[in-house]
């Protein structure tokens, strides 16, 4: 049987079914056509199985698989462009003035902004005595020292699909912010580290799931394993949830912190999110989008001491689906794939823009947590927030 398998492999290689480039011709035992650090699933100059030695070991063990190409593309990069200039307010009780000259002298003060997570948008900048002052509304100006203008925001984007993938896939998370993630050679924390380096948000496919040492592991390639905390999965299911009547729905997976969009029996989009923190959870259930805004003001507070106060101007591409809980862009978020919000489903700017363009009022939103960690008792939920 083994001889037949080797013969089959030889036929595949000779027929160029693997599409091995000319630069990889004449492979020698022990050679590795994939340069260290190359993304496993995207490097066109690599054998999809790794080095000659890895391929040989897979044949010897009887474990042999093909790497599928995801039927996916990145959305249009222009979706990440925002129509506003944002500034973070960086002092408590930041003053607002009626003119740049008033702001330059520091009086009179029209009003102040409460301390918290506060972002404003500005439409004009004027210089007085060599210092810049920013107009946040007609007749309202702030000093440069009180705000940080031109705020950077995440340009992360999910994937849009032409067909439903045959395997689960996901995004690598660098939870420790060390720069790169190294898979293990086996599903164990004591296993050797592989000579591959993955970056934050690299896309990987899942070939096997295994429980070992009290942890869940995913094989993302030959002898390449990631622990479940290092990846967030899009676990696709094209069967409409009970209650969905038009074969269009948005699935929010709280356990994995992913969102998938379905239409006519196929997945059309998937990405990472940031949902509600414990105590201000995103509520599980089946909902419908009931209101949409290209931009809107969000503000609120949950703690008695107002330590969690937020004021966020011009939140982009907002779709309300459960009281004050909404799907929306979060220009103040640097990372996705983790619980961070006050109950809303936070998306990157580009992802919220894509979803806003796709969605219509009445579209279904199915929120679930298969881990059971998110409570479903309605008495535990307030109206929600950003």
Per-residue pLDDT tens over the stretch 188-204:
999 999 999 999 999 99
359 and 275 share a domain? yes
Q: Report residue 255's pLDDT band, with 50, 70 and 90 as the boundaries.
A: very high
270 and 173 share a domain? no
Q: Kindly report the pTM of this predicted structure.
A: 0.82
Give the Cβ contact number of residue 58 at 10 Å.
Answer: 17
As a whole number, mean pLDDT of residues 283-302 equals 96
273 and 342 share a domain? yes
246 and 345 share a domain? yes
pLDDT tops 60 at residue 27:
no
Quick one: 61 exposed, middle or buried, by C-beta within 10 A (0-12, 13-18, 19+)? Answer: exposed
99 and 133 share a domain? yes
The whole-number pLDDT of residue 292 equals: 98
Tell me if residue 16 falls in helix, strand or coil. coil
106 and 208 share a domain? no
Question: Would you say residue 256 lies in a domain?
Answer: yes
342 and 252 share a domain? yes
Tokens of 142: 């702030």
**Long-range contacts of residues 7-14, Cβ cutoff 8 Å, at least 24 apart:** 9/59
The whole-number pLDDT of residue 107 equals: 93
Domain range for 297 is: 236-380
The whole-number pLDDT of residue 85 equals: 95
For the domain that residue 328 is a member of, what is the CATH number?
2.40.440.10
Question: Taking phi first (over 0 means left), then psi (-120 to 50 degrees means alpha), and beta for anything else, what does residue 66 get?
Answer: beta
The whole-number pLDDT of residue 179 equals: 74
Question: Would you say residue 361 lies in a domain?
Answer: yes
Question: Would you say residue 131 lies in a domain?
Answer: yes
As a whole number, mean pLDDT of residues 319-343 equals 96
Q: Final residue of a domain: which of 199, 233, 267? A: 233
Among 35-39, 93-97, 234-238, 307-311, name the one with the lowest average pLDDT: 35-39
60 and 193 share a domain? yes
Q: At what angle do helices 52-61 and 2-14 cross, to 10 degrees?
A: 140
User: How many structural domains is the chain composed of?
Assistant: 3
Question: Would you say residue 324 lies in a domain?
Answer: yes
Q: Final residue of a domain: which of 198, 233, 268? A: 233
For residues 357 and 344, the answer to whether their CB atoms sit within 8 Å is no
For the domain that residue 145 is a member of, what is the CATH number?
2.30.30
pLDDT tops 90 at residue 43:
no
As a whole number, mean pLDDT of residues 72-84 equals 95
pLDDT tops 80 at residue 209:
yes
Q: Please give the Cα distance from 310 to 118 (Å, whole number).
A: 6
pLDDT tops 50 at residue 77:
yes
Tokens of 57: 């070991």
pLDDT tops 70 at residue 17:
no
As a whole number, mean pLDDT of residues 172-181 equals 80
Give the Cβ contact number of residue 41 at 10 Å.
Answer: 19
pLDDT tops 70 at residue 235:
yes
For residues 224 and 196, the answer to whether their CB atoms sit within 8 Å is yes
Question: Would you say residue 363 lies in a domain?
Answer: yes
pLDDT tops 70 at residue 145:
yes
Q: Report residue 67's pLDDT band, with 50, 70 and 90 as the boundaries.
A: low
Question: Would you say residue 72 lies in a domain?
Answer: no
Dihedral sign from CA coordinates of 355, 361, 363, 367: positive
Question: Would you say residue 6 lies in a domain?
Answer: yes
Tokens of 30: 């022990």
pLDDT tops 90 at residue 33:
no
Question: Would you say residue 385 lies in a domain?
Answer: no
For residues 173 and 337, the answer to whether their CB atoms sit within 8 Å is yes
Q: Report residue 15's pLDDT band, with 50, 70 and 90 as the boundaries.
A: very low
Q: Of 244, 222, 219, nearest to 230 (Cα)?
A: 219
The whole-number pLDDT of residue 48 equals: 40
The whole-number pLDDT of residue 28 equals: 37
As a whole number, mean pLDDT of residues 149-176 equals 92
Q: Final residue of a domain: which of 193, 216, 233? A: 233
Q: Report residue 63's pLDDT band, with 50, 70 and 90 as the boundaries.
A: low
pLDDT tops 90 at residue 51:
no
């Amino acid at each position: 049987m083994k001889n037949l398998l080797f013969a089959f492999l030889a036929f595949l290689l000779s027929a160029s079914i693997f599409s091995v480039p000319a630069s990889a011709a004449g492979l020698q035992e022990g050679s590795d056509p994939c340069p260290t650090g190359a993304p496993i699933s995207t490097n066109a100059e690599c054998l999809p199985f790794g080095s000659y030695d890895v391929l040989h070991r897979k044949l010897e063990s009887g474990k042999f698989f093909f790497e599928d190409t995801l039927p996916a593309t990145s959305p249009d990069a222009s979706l990440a462009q925002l129509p506003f200039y944002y500034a973070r307010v960086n002092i408590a009780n930041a003053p607002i003035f009626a003119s740049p000259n008033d702001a330059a002298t520091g009086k009179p003060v029209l009003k102040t902004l409460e301390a918290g997570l506060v972002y404003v948008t500005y439409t004009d900048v004027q210089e007085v005595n060599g210092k810049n002052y920013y107009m946040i509304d007609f007749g309202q100006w702030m000093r440069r020292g009180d705000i940080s203008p031109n705020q950077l925001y995440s340009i992360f984007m999910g994937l849009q699909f032409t067909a439903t993938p045959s395997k689960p896939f996901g995004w690598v998370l660098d939870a420790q912010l060390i720069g790169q993630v190294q898979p293990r050679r086996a599903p164990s924390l004591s296993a050797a580290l592989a000579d591959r380096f993955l970056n934050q948000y690299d896309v990987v496919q899942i070939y096997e799931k295994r429980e070992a040492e009290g942890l869940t592991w995913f094989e993302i390639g030959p002898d390449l394993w990631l622990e479940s905390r290092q990846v967030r999965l899009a676990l696709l299911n094209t069967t409409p949830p009970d209650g969905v009547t038009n074969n269009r729905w948005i699935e929010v997976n709280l356990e994995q912190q992913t969102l998938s969009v379905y239409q006519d029996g196929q997945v059309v989009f998937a990405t990472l999110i940031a949902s509600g923190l414990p105590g201000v959870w995103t509520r599980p259930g089946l909902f419908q989008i009931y209101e949409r805004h290209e931009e809107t003001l969000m503000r609120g507070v949950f703690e008695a001491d107002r330590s969690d106060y937020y004021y966020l101007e011009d939140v982009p591409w907002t779709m309300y689906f459960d009281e004050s809980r909404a799907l929306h862009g979060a220009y103040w978020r640097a990372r996705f794939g983790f619980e961070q919000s006050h109950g809303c489903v936070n998306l990157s700017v580009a992802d919220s823009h894509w979803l806003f363009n796709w969605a219509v009022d009445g579209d279904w939103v199915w929120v679930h947590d298969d881990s059971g960690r998110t409570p479903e008792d309605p008495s535990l939920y307030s109206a929600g927030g950003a």
